[in-house]
Structure formats: structure tokens, C-alpha cells
Structure 1
Amino acid sequence: MSTSIPVVEQLPTLPTEEVLSAVRSAFAELAAGTAVQPAQTVTLLPGGGDVIAYQAATSDAYAAKVSPYLPQPDGPAIVTAWTVVLSTRTGRPVVLCDSAALTVERTAATTALAVDLLARSDASTLAVIGAGPQAHAHLRYARAVRSFTDVRIYSRSLREAPDGTTLAASADEAAAGADVVLLCTSAAEAVIDVTALSPGTLVTSISTNVPKAHEIAPTELPKLEVYGDYRPTVTASAGELVIAAEQGIWSPEQLRGDLPELLTGTCERPSGERPVFFRSIGLGIEDLAIARLLVPST
């Protein structure tokens, strides 16, 4: 019997609907109590750098994504990510994959799930802030859950709008009048003025792993209806939520709901009276959802 496991060094093209279904099912498993989502852990390395580990488990599989950040004395830091999936029936690894592209896909699909659950059903105007791989993936997945007819995009580095979009002169110009605003930047501070948004507008944020990084001003949280990807982890790690809690202007108890609760109807939906803010930090259950799609059929 072969002891080798499939190694996926380049993520194959996965159907958008298949990825969305996998992510939705993963959060439904969390809601049903048939999946486990620990908090991410950070291990500081001797001499500098760190490794972030994202874990998750379902009834038949366990996954761990490890993402090292390795500073180099003569150039940019090395940043990689690998996900391994183990069968919880046999204890054997069933797939190992490079998670660079996987992370982009699962992050954008999770945001799209939030758009599907939180945005108005007739949402037609979309703003995308950013122009990297995450921004492009977010645009693709968001279009799969709503029929956007007006798409604006803004990035300081962008000189030409992608097909089917309009290039805005600023982030706030792109967001003005939008039904959904997708923040896809590596900024460590606010990139739009959420106080200028209309009630019911949905803003999503992924931010970065930099401690306390945020894409909206923490002081504005009390004016928003705030949701997260998973209540136990997002309130402890998301930069603007942590800062606002430390300042005493917002508390984790004010989080209106998370994706498992939204899927099961156990939390309040947006009221339409204030802008809506959805924050995700990235979860092992999302990595597991996509990695399971790569496991060879038996």
C-alpha cells in the first residue's frame, strides 16, 4: 500500500459555486456542532519571524494551515502557507497543498457568503477597494451572489479599470451610494469614512494579520451593526474590534451575529437603520472546506 499523499503545489481552478457551497456547508457544520474551530495561534520564532497556525476539525477530517513569516537580512521576508488534511477515521494525511491561492479563494468565498446573508436582496451597486488578488477574487465571488449592475473600483496603484467596472478617483468616491463595499487592502488604518454611508450599506473587511490592523475607524463601530465570521475568534483578534473594546466604546456583546448564527437564523438580521459592518479574520474551517475539494475520490 502506498504511503505517499497527494501534494497540490498549484491550486486547480475550482468552480465558484462549488467553493461557495463548500464554505457555506463548513459554517453550517459549525452551527450544528459537528465541527470545531479553535482560535488561531502564533508561534514566535527564535531570531525573528513567526508561524501562524489555523486549525479546524469536522466529523471526518482535521486540517492545519501553517503560515510562516520569515524575515530575511538582505531582502523581503519569506511568507508561505501550507495546509494538511488528516482523516479522523484513519489518522492518515489525505492531502497537502500550497495555500497561497487557497487562502485567496476561501477568504473571498467567506466574504461572498456574508454578502449573500447580509446585503439587501436588490443590491446592485458594488464598490471594491483594492486591486490585488483578493480584490479580484472578491469581485468574482460577490458577483455570484448578487446581480451588480454598477461596479466601482479604487486602488492607489490602479490606472485602468478591469472590464465591467468603473475606476473611481478615491475610496470614498467608490463607496458613495454603494449597496456593498468590499475592503480588500493591506492597510493598517481606516481607508473609507463609514459615517458617510447610507443606512443598510454593507461594508466587509478582511484586513491583515498585523496586530490591531483595521480598515475602518474603531471609533465608528458604535454607529454600525457589526457582524463577524465566527464570534469566539473575531472579537478577540480583529483590530478595530479589539481597539474599540479597549477604549470602552464597544464590547464583544454588541456583535449582532456571526455566519453560523446567520445561517441558522439565531441572530438578528440587519435592521436597515444603520450601515452594516462584516469583519472576517480567516479561519481553519474555511481552509478545510477548500482543501477537502482537493482530496482524491476513493
Structure 2
Amino acid sequence: MNGGFRYLSQQNVAELGGADTQEAFNDACDVVTLMRQGETEMPAEIHVTLQGERGKTYALPAKVGGRFNAVGVKWTAHRPDADDGLPQSMPLTLVNRADSGLPLGLVESSALTAARTAAVSAIALRYAAPRKVRRVLLLGAGVQAIAHLEMLGQLFPELECVNWWHRRPQLLINNTPTTLPWPVHEYADLPQAIALENDAILTCTSAAEPLIDADAIRPGRIVIQVGYHEVSFAAINRCSRVVVDLWGDFCESSAKSLFQMYRAGQFSAGRVDADLGNLLLDGWRPAADDSVYFSSFGLNVFDVALAARVLTRATERNVGTLLSLFSASHYDQDKPC
């Protein structure tokens, strides 16, 4: 079968199920197993600066075997503040076959990034929470917050409610999913929202200074940090358990709260109690009275795996823009992944 090289737009990715959290959850679980089996590679990211104080572009390469059979690089532009109505973050993922190196396609990856991040949060909620999660506090109203709300609706229909703190009600009116299996209670006062009896707090904001301090840490509660610097060092220090998706070389440069704390000499790698492999493959679980902090760095090996999955489906359904890089005789006749 001549798969060719495909470009998948945001609309194509949505059509192919790129935003489906259950599929992203399954992908992430399979990739964690492949990581344990030594069938993945994830070199350190590199970046170059853009104009402005906050502008950077990141190249995040990875290889993943198994059913994905993919090697690729996620290229993300975190654009400087611009009043042009376009997203601040613009990710694309380039994928080749891992066995032959054949170029497969270029995928617009905003939805994939949101889906894989929410899927990792779902793993944490399911396996790292001290108690069965019934009430969730969601912080934020951007792309990641919406993706997490949809994840909760799809994978946790048994919740009693979701409490939602945000500052952008107009965005919620335009983007809130209309069919959720439980009530959503919105709050404008953050201390009031944190004081509620929540089993889990999901921080999905772009806050440059911590929103969660030590007073938010309680026995039986998990705090999942998705954004960069939303949790104070004091809050992390008060937690009895610290769990990460992975501890890697990125601890030396990442702006995530936990890694800032590490570089400040206030946290050691030996304090990490578990990572995704321990949760999914080793059966690690916290005690019911533990207070758990989960730091979600965001692993590019997941991005490449999800992009490979949608490219496989695109070939099967003939979706996307097919581009010619070589003459037809040069293409491998097998399916891409």
C-alpha cells in the first residue's frame, strides 16, 4: 500500500479521533510498557529563542516501537505575546517509520498535546490518588482545562461533581462541553474553591506564580500540576508522596515547579516515590491518608505515538493532504505503522 507523505490539519486530526481521551489513555499505557521494555528513545529537547521575552521554539525528538513503529520530532513554537488572535502555542509533529526511516507525515498537534496531557492526568487520578476520586477541583479555562473537563466526562462519569475555578467566563460559554454526566459548579474565588471537599485538584493554568500553597495540601487529596509554576515549594514539601510521569534530564532546565525546586536545592530526586511505570506496571499505590503531588512534565514519546496512530488511521481512510516526496516506486508498500 502506497501511504505517501501526509499533512494532517487540525480538522483532519479531529476527524481521526485525535482528541479522544480514551484512545490517548490506551496509547500512553502502551508506551509506558514499551519504555520499560527498552523499545523507546527520548533524547533531551533543544530550543531556540524567538523575539520577545516569552518566545521559544522547542524540538522534542522521540522513538517508539511496538504497534507505533515511529520516530519523530515534535516542533512547538511558544510564540511571544501577539495580538493577532492566533494560538500562543503552535505544535507540529513530524513522523517517520522507525524501521525504515521512511517519512510518513506532518501532523498539527494541538489536540494531540491536550489529549495526551489529559490522559496522563487520568492515569494519575486512577492510580496515584490516595482515595477513590469523587469530587474534582479544576483550575483554569484554556485549552488544557477544557481537555481535562472532557477527559473527566469521558473516563470518570461516576464523579459526584466538578468544581471549576476560572477567570474567563466568556471562553467557557463558547467552549464548555454540553453533555457532562455530573454537575459543574463554577467559582470565581480561589480560596473558596480550594477549601471545598475535593479529592483532587487539577491545575491547568498558565500562572507564572503559584496558585496552590501548603494550606491546599490535605490527607487523602492529590494535586496534579499540568501548568508550569502553579504549586509552591511549601505545598510540594508538605505532600507525603511525590509522583512524576518521569524524572529525566529535563529536571535541569524545565520551568515546572518541582524542577525549579530541585535546582534550588530544596528537593532531591530520591524523594520521588513513583513514576508512570511504577503506577502501571509495578502496582505502586499511596496509602489512604497520604497527600500526593503529581508533576506532569509531558513526555514527547507520547506525542510521537499519538501522531503515528492518527497517521495510520489517515492512510486507512485516505484523510489529509497527500504530498509527493519521491516517485511512487520509492515508497514502501506496507502500511505506515
Relative to structure 1, the CA distance from residue 143 to residue 238 in structure 2 (aligned partners, 3 Å threshold; closer, same or farther) is farther
Q: Which residue of 1 aligns with 2:33?
A: 28
CA distance in 2, matches of 1:73, 1:82: 20
The amino acid that maps onto 2:269 is P
* Residue 52 (structure 1) aligned with residue 52 (structure 2): no
Moved more, 12-21 or 109-118: 12-21
The amino acid that maps onto 2:211 is V
Work out which of the residue numbers 214, 238, 245 in structure 1 matches 2:262: 245
Determine which structure has more spread, i.e. the larger CA radius of gyration. 2
* Residue 197 (structure 1) aligned with residue 207 (structure 2): no
Q: Which residue of 1 aligns with 2:103?
A: 93
- Give 3-state SS (helix, strand or coil) of 2:25's partner: helix
Ranges in structure 1 where 5+ consecutive residues have no aligned partner: 209-213
Please show how residues 53-72 of structure 1 align to structure 2 within 5 Å. Answer: 53-59=59-65, 60-71=69-80
Identical-pair percentage? 28
Q: Which residue of 2 aligns with 1:12?
A: 14
Q: CA deviation at 1:235?
A: 3.5
Work out which of the residue numbers 288, 303, 316 in structure 2 matches 1:272: 288
Q: CA deviation at 1:138?
A: 0.6
Q: CA deviation at 1:6?
A: 1.3
Please show how residues 32-181 of structure 1 align to structure 2 within 5 Å. Answer: 32-44=37-49, 49-59=55-65, 60-71=69-80, 79-120=89-130, 122-146=132-156, 147-158=158-169, 164-175=183-194, 176-181=196-201
Q: Which residue of 1 aligns with 2:309?
A: 293
Normalising by structure 2, what TM-score? 0.77
Q: Which has the higher contact order (CA 8 A, sep 6+)?
A: 2
Ranges in structure 2 where 5+ consecutive residues have no aligned partner: 317-334
CA distance in 2, matches of 1:263, 1:118: 10
Relative to structure 1, the CA distance from residue 241 to residue 249 in structure 2 (aligned partners, 3 Å threshold; closer, same or farther) is same
CA-to-aligned-CA distance 1:17-71 (integer Å, 9 cap, x gap): 2221111111221122211222322123589843201121123211210012454
Relative to structure 1, the CA distance from residue 223 to residue 63 in structure 2 (aligned partners, 3 Å threshold; closer, same or farther) is same
* Residue 184 (structure 1) aligned with residue 204 (structure 2): yes
The amino acid that maps onto 1:261 is N
Please show how residues 202-241 of structure 1 align to structure 2 within 5 Å. Answer: 202-208=222-228, 214-224=229-239, 225-233=241-249, 235-236=251-252, 237-241=254-258
CA distance in 1, matches of 2:46, 2:299: 11
Moved more, 247-256 or 147-156: 247-256
CA distance in 2, matches of 1:32, 1:142: 30
CA distance in 1, matches of 2:222, 2:106: 36
CA distance in 2, matches of 1:70, 1:157: 21
Relative to structure 1, the CA distance from residue 151 to residue 111 in structure 2 (aligned partners, 3 Å threshold; closer, same or farther) is same
Q: CA deviation at 1:248?
A: 2.9
CA distance in 1, matches of 2:265, 2:307: 39
Q: Which residue of 1 aligns with 2:324?
A: none
CA-to-aligned-CA distance 1:142-200 (integer Å, 9 cap, x gap): 34443211211010222778563001232332232101111100001111334333212
Normalising by structure 1, what TM-score? 0.87
Relative to structure 1, the CA distance from residue 73 to residue 169 in structure 2 (aligned partners, 3 Å threshold; closer, same or farther) is closer
- Give 3-state SS (helix, strand or coil) of 1:53's partner: strand
- Preserved CA contact (<8 Å) 2:62 2:72: yes
CA-to-aligned-CA distance 1:241-294 (integer Å, 9 cap, x gap): 23322443321211111112221217x422333321111122211102211221
Moved more, 171-180 or 88-97: 171-180
Relative to structure 1, the CA distance from residue 45 to residue 167 in structure 2 (aligned partners, 3 Å threshold; closer, same or farther) is closer
* Residue 254 (structure 1) aligned with residue 274 (structure 2): no
Q: CA deviation at 1:74?
A: 8.1
- Give 3-state SS (helix, strand or coil) of 1:6's partner: strand
Relative to structure 1, the CA distance from residue 220 to residue 80 in structure 2 (aligned partners, 3 Å threshold; closer, same or farther) is same
CA distance in 1, matches of 2:80, 2:261: 31
